[in-house]
Amino acid sequence: MNASNPSTSPAWRHCLRLLLAWAWALGVCCTALAGDEATYTVVSGDHPWNIAQRFLLTPAHAVQLARLNGIRNDRLIPPGTRLRIPVAWLRLQQARARLGRLQGDVRVVGTDGVSQAAVEGASWQPGTALRTGLQSTALLEFDDGSRSLVRQLSLVRLVQAEQPLLGGGHWLQLELVTGAIENLVKPLAGAGGRFEIRTPAGIAAVRGTEFRVSATEYLTRTEVLEGAVLLRNDAGETAASAGAGTFANLASAPVPAKPLLNAPDLSTVPARLERLPIDWPVPAVVGGTSYRTQLAADSRFDALLSEEVTTAPRVRISAAPDGQYVLRLRTIDSQGLEGRSSERAIELFTQPPPPILIEPAPEAQVLSLRPTLRWARAQAASTYRLQIFPDQPADAQPLEDRVVDTTAQTRSGSELPPGIYRWRVATIDTTRNRQGPWGDMQSFRRVEPGPSFSAPDLQGGAMTLAWSAQAFAATYRMQLSTDAGFGTVLVDTLATAPRHQLPTPGPGTYHVRVQATGVDGFTGPWGTVQSFTVPEPEPPVPDWRPLWLLVPLLLLAL
């Protein structure tokens, strides 16, 4: 708030207090309620005038002090007498407000509008403001033990931080221009203590509670977790107790308090998360339209290392260093009120990240008995740990588990029978002797090459085609075509044995191929296309033997 505004100057506030005090002296003000009174225990030598001189705004309050407490002889007050003193009469002294833990980009904005980087542990002076950037937070700490966490993209100004000379109560007032604050206010031990957050659309006032306030230029929301909050503006007021929230805009009174949404269920989120960004689904909360994820170093939530909102029921963390954290998630309803929070301890273990698997590609079919496995190269000072598993059972022990050098590829250590295999790789940072998380499993199938043919057997007008048998084959599919691309198929048949007989086709060149289907239902690749020729039939050899019968006739003719 600008220092030139007379409503914020100390002199103006002091004059106002003097006017109020004289109004009390003239009997204009009514007697204070008990809840707004401090108590003073008289010691020897006390009288209303020296009590007023030490603790009250003006000596004129001495007369009202005597009248309020029924003192007939102001020089003969027995020691130990407990005097009632309205808090409005008490003189105030500056209370300390300091900047606690800072996270990210936090700046202090002076009364002259000039901003500078905030310093952790520094005092926060009335009239100055704090501005937090994206993914940045500031913890405010007050003398009475109260704390406020200023969330990202917020602007908050300290209006008042004072303490009466008598009674011990603290008078704290913040102005939230925009953004959000999460507050833990200590029960006010002294009489008259107050904690207020002023926003463009209303004022949230408490005497000791845990609550949240968010504000825009036109709207203010508050959610109460413990205690009670009174939200008021020029149009009216509404009280919200623990587990309820309310909101107000510039044009209308705060709405009646409504219950906050239940806390989300975090039981499905693993205790260890190994891949950033984290986008883990959770069960939806009835009535929720979005979800807020917060990440802190511990359960105090003095600083937020990550804060994100998703429209789907998910835990979302884009970036954070590896370590132990506390995760917090809550649901936001259609009116923007945020519900109760769930928390759980988690570990982020993401470095060094696993490499991208290249070969075999997902679900690839591999013919080699010892397949080549290849992945993307990580940082220079890295080796890799490779594991190969059978497909079943899911919890099977690895067939191979070994460290591979920096070449980022290797062949399987032994020949793999036909079947499905899963493999994964982790990166090892050799500079720190640290293995990172495993990458995702990727599967491939080791298959036998397609069957190969022997030369066709042509006998007696029939042709027998035979091919190599495969140990796990249940059926074979054989195709015969005059087209090497098998665009036109003459024969397409299934056989249980590695052979098939058919009538000898006409002369010409033919192409044949076969594939096997195993007992598990998997159909392997086509074998190599093989070609053969059915020759033209040889012309018949003339039979000259009948002509020998004519020889005797020729001899007789001679």
> What's the pLDDT tens digit per position in 131-184?
999 999 999 999 888 999 999 999 999 999 888 777 666 788 999 999 999 999
Is 537 or 77 the better-scoring residue by pLDDT?
Answer: 77
Structure confidence at residue 15 as a pLDDT band (50, 70, 90): very low
Average pLDDT over residues 313-322: 96
How much is the pLDDT for 558?
66
- Selected residue with higher pLDDT from 75 and 228: 228
Residue 60: the pLDDT is 85
> Mean pLDDT throughout 299-322?
96
The string of pLDDT tens digits covering residues 457-486 is 988 889 999 999 988 889 999 999 999 999
The pLDDT of residue 28 is above 90: no
Q: Determine the pLDDT at residue 335.
A: 96
The whole-angstrom separation of Cα 411 and Cα 391 is 19
* Residue with the larger pLDDT of the pair 23 and 178: 178
Beta bridge partners of 457: 464
Rg of the chain over Cα atoms, rounded to whole angstroms, equals 44
Across the range 497-503, mean pLDDT stands at 93
Q: Is residue 344 classed exposed, middle or buried when 0-12, 13-18 and 19+ CB atoms within 10 A define those classes?
A: middle
**Structural tokens at position 418:** 């036909």
Asked if 515 and 476 touch (Cβ cutoff 8 Å), the reply is: yes
Mind listing the pLDDT tens digit for each residue in 177-231?
Answer: 999 999 998 775 555 568 999 999 999 998 778 999 999 999 999 999 999 999 9
Q: What is the rounded end-to-end Cα distance, in angstroms, of the chain?
A: 152
Which pLDDT value is given to residue 10? Answer: 45
pLDDT score of 144: 83
Mean per-residue pLDDT, 57-72: 89
Per-residue confidence (pLDDT) for residue 37, from 0 to 100: 80
* pLDDT tens digit sequence for 372-410: 999 998 877 789 999 999 998 888 999 999 999 888 999
Count how many Cα atoms sit within 13 Å of the Cα of residue 313 in the half-sphere of its side chain. 15
Percent of the chain with pLDDT over 90: 64
Per-residue pLDDT, 32: 32
What pLDDT score was predicted for residue 27? 33
Structural tokens at position 483 = 């087209």
**In the chain, % of residues over pLDDT 70:** 89
> How confident is residue 519, by pLDDT bands cut at 50, 70 and 90?
confident
Range 107-136 average pLDDT:
95
List the single range of 238-242, 281-285, 392-396 with lowest mean pLDDT. 392-396
What pLDDT is attached to residue 547?
A: 66
Lowest mean pLDDT, pick from 108-117, 131-140, 197-206, 548-557 = 548-557
Average pLDDT over residues 358-373: 94
Residues 139 and 298: their CA atoms lie apart, in Å, by 14
Least confidently predicted of 190-194, 231-235, 309-313, 358-362: 190-194
Residue 275 has pLDDT above 70, yes or no: yes
Confidence of residue 54 (pLDDT cuts 50, 70, 90): confident
DSSP code at position 143: T
* pLDDT of 551: 66
Which pTM does this prediction carry?
Answer: 0.74
- Round to whole Å and give the CA distance between 385 and 428: 7
* Confidence tier at 12 by pLDDT (50, 70, 90): very low
Report whether pLDDT(34) > 60. no
> Is the per-residue pLDDT at 40 higher than 60?
yes
Q: How far is CA 414 from CA 370, 450, 485, 548, in A?
A: 6, 22, 36, 76
pLDDT at 246 over 90: yes
146 to 100, 172, 200, 296, 351: CA distances (angstroms): 12, 10, 23, 19, 38
Closest C-alpha to 429, from 378, 471, 387: 378
| Least confident among 1-5, 76-80, 485-489 | 1-5
Question: CB-based contacts of 357: which residues, under 8 Å, 6+ apart?
Answer: 373, 375, 376, 423, 424, 425, 439, 440, 442
What is the predicted pLDDT for the residue at 22?
34
